[in-house]
Structures are given as structure tokens and as C-alpha cells.
């Protein structure tokens, strides 16, 4: 699997004949350079962890341009269908469920956060936030935690899904900081590869992964820290 970090919590996964965009906050991101449609070229799916603008990002434009299927909570899918996503090409689910995406599956886990969109200056509820577990034949199991605090039932996520790749928010304030993110990785999971996210984007969150790497200690060698736009293969 090839994993490209596109800044913040946005990633592109390439495996088999799939090109999967996760939380594609691109055109509005201070750290992403280039065009969102170029980054999403050939996209087959867009996966969203929750409804905040810094995660839904360019989803509507990408889905309309590529025909990618939208996979998220029911509320997020219906809301974005109202914004221009093809309502016949959404694949909604909710916590504890798994959806078949044709060649891979996505399972929805808890995340301790919130989920809404701003409409006329007011937040509109968009379901509960989620983590996403991606499973594809012949590939390592990937767990994008979404925006979340540490929580004890991460142990059940590990027990049920046995994820090998962890995409982990570390920026503090709105998610786990580096210390608690490292604790989550070491206490609850046996990741062979970890990619930190949700840092550097805005001045009010951590600008580097240094605190996370220091807290990972002897396990810091499992952590990949790509530059924005860089691809790692795991």
C-alpha cells in the first residue's frame, strides 16, 4: 500500500486498482500546495471521519469530478449529497458497522470528538465522529483514528481488527497531544507503521511531531514522518 500525506488529516491510499482519499482538506489547507483534483486524480473513493470543514474539505468537488464513492456516516453522506455529491453513490455506515466498497471494506469505530458543519454561522449536527479501519486483500490493515482523544476502548479496536498501520492525530487542543497519542499507540496497539497527522496546519496546534516521537521512545522507529505530498510504502 502506498500512503501519501496531503497535510492535516488528509491522506491518499493507493492499492490494487483503488485510489482512496481520506479527509481531503486540500484547497483550504495552509500546508497543501497544488490542485485538489490533481492530488485526487483517479480517485475511486472518498472516506470521511466526520463533518468538520477541515476534514470534508474538497469532497464535493472530488466526487463530482472523479465519480468517487463517498463513504462516511449517514448524516455526513446525506448532508454532502445535498451539497452536490451524487446521492446514488454514497456508502453510509455507523459505529460498529462495516461496509463493502468493492475490493476493500471500511469498518467504523468510535472517536472522541465532535462532528458538525457551519451553516449561516451556526453549527449543524452531522452525526458522531468516527475512526476508519480499511481492510483489503493482501494489504496491511490500516486504522485512521480520525480526530480523537485517547479512550480505553481502543483496546477493543485492536482486539477486533488487529490494525498494523496507524494514522494518529497528535496536534493537541482538538485531539490527542503527542504524549497521549504515544500512550495510545503503545498501550493499545501493535502497529508496525505509524503516521502522525493533525499537526502543523494551524498555529494553535503543535507544529512538529517532536513531542510524539520523544514519547514513543524505543518505538519511534515505527513512525514515518513524511513531508506534505510525500508517499511512503508500507
Condensed to tens digits (0 to 9), the pLDDT of residues 79-118 reads: 999 999 999 999 999 999 999 999 999 999 999 999 999 9
pLDDT band at 11 (very low <50, low <70, confident <90, very high): very high
pTM: 0.98
Asked if 72 and 48 count as a contact pair (C-beta separation under 8 A), the reply is yes
Per-residue model confidence (pLDDT) at position 96: 98
Asked if 6 and 26 count as a contact pair (C-beta separation under 8 A), the reply is yes
Domains belonging to the chain, first-starting first, are 2-233 (3.60.15.10)
Residue 86: C-alpha distances to residues 89, 119, 218 (Å): 5, 21, 47
Per-residue model confidence (pLDDT) at position 40: 98
Per-residue model confidence (pLDDT) at position 222: 98
3-state helix, strand, coil in the chain (%, to 5): 25, 30, 50
Condensed to tens digits (0 to 9), the pLDDT of residues 163-184 reads: 999 999 999 999 999 999 999 9
Starting at the edge strand found earlier in the chain, the sheet holding 130-135 runs 98-100, 105-110, 130-135, 142-144, 165-169, 193-197
Q: What is the mean pLDDT of residues 67-81?
A: 98
Residue 134: C-alpha distances to residues 6, 145, 206 (Å): 18, 11, 27
CB contact set of 67 (below 8 Å; sequence gap of 6+): 86, 89
Amino acid at each position: 500500500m502506498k500512503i501519501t500525506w496531503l497535510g492535516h488529516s488528509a491522506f491518499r491510499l493507493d492499492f490494487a486498482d483503488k485510489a482512496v482519499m481520506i479527509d481531503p482538506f486540500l484547497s483550504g489547507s495552509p500546508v497543501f500546495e497544488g490542485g485538489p483534483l490533481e492530488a485526487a486524480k483517479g480517485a475511486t473513493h472518498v472516506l470521511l471521519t466526520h463533518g468538520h470543514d477541515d476534514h470534508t474539505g474538497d469532497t464535493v468537488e472530488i466526487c463530482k469530478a472523479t465519480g468517487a464513492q463517498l463513504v462516511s456516516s449517514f448524516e455526513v453522506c446525506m448532508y454532502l449529497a445535498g451539497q452536490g455529491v451524487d446521492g446514488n453513490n454514497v456508502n453510509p455506515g455507523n459505529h460498529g458497522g462495516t461496509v463493502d466498497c468493492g475490493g476493500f471494506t471500511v469498518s467504523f469505530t468510535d472517536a472522541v470528538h465532535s462532528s458538525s458543519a457551519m451553516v449561516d454561522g451556526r453549527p449543524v449536527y452531522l452525526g458522531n465522529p468516527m475512526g476508519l479501519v480499511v481492510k483489503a486483500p493482501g494489504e496491511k490493515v490500516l486504522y485512521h483514528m480520525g480526530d480523537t482523544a485517547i479512550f480505553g476502548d481502543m483496546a477493543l479496536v485492536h482486539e477486533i481488527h488487529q490494525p498494523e498501520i496507524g494514522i494518529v492525530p497528535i496536534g493537541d487542543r482538538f485531539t490527542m497531544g503527542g504524549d497521549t497519542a504515544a500512550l495510545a499507540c503503545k498501550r493499545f496497539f501493535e502497529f508496525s507503521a505509524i503516521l502522525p497527522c493533525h499537526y502543523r496546519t494551524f498555529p494553535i496546534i503543535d507544529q512538529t511531531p517532536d513531542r510524539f516521537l520523544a514519547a514513543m521512545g524505543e518505538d519511534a522507529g515505527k513512525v514515518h514522518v513524511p513531508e506534505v505530498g510525500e508517499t511512503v510504502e508500507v
